[in-house]
Amino acid sequence: MEYWDLYTKDRKKLNKLHKRGEPLNIGEYHIFVFAWIINKNNEILIIQRHPDKTFPYKWDCVGGAVLAGEESIDAILREIKEEIGIKVGKENGKLIKSDVLDDFIGDVYIFTENINIERTKLQDMEVINIKWVSIAKLKKIEKENKLPKPMIHNIEYLEECLNEI
């Protein structure tokens, strides 16, 4: 079973553990992490979610929950390894945004990595496909309603970050 540390909206640790799947009390938040992986061609790595997961068949970035005792950066490195079987360099990533959304705090990272997707190992029951796309293609996928709702608000910000790289 998976446990999370709980926080206030201001990211102060509550020193309480939460069992995944149980409802949170008002004023309790957990942390989720998301990784946009960008290659040297300014393409964005996206994954397609398994049909049995929330947001079935939607295209998404790698992400997941921060486990109890884990730091945000370590959680996203673990999630990348688990979901696509690739180890990325901590030094190639940076936290670009942290938002409070519903009952969680979302930490968004950008990693610059040239990943050969043919060498990835997609996690069973999590990811069914992977591909590189341009920001224009990602916006088209958004317009086709093929992105999970939590990711949609990050596209504009992602585009700004791409222009700075």
Domain of residue 151 covers: 3-164
Domain total in the chain: 1
CB 78 within 8 A of CB 87: no
Query: Domain containing 43 — which CATH number?
Result: 3.90.79.10
Q: What is the pLDDT of residues 124-161, one digit of tens each?
A: 999 999 999 999 999 999 999 999 987 777 787 788 88
Q: Which pTM value belongs to this model?
A: 0.93
pLDDT, one tens digit per residue, over 54-67 is: 999 999 999 999 99
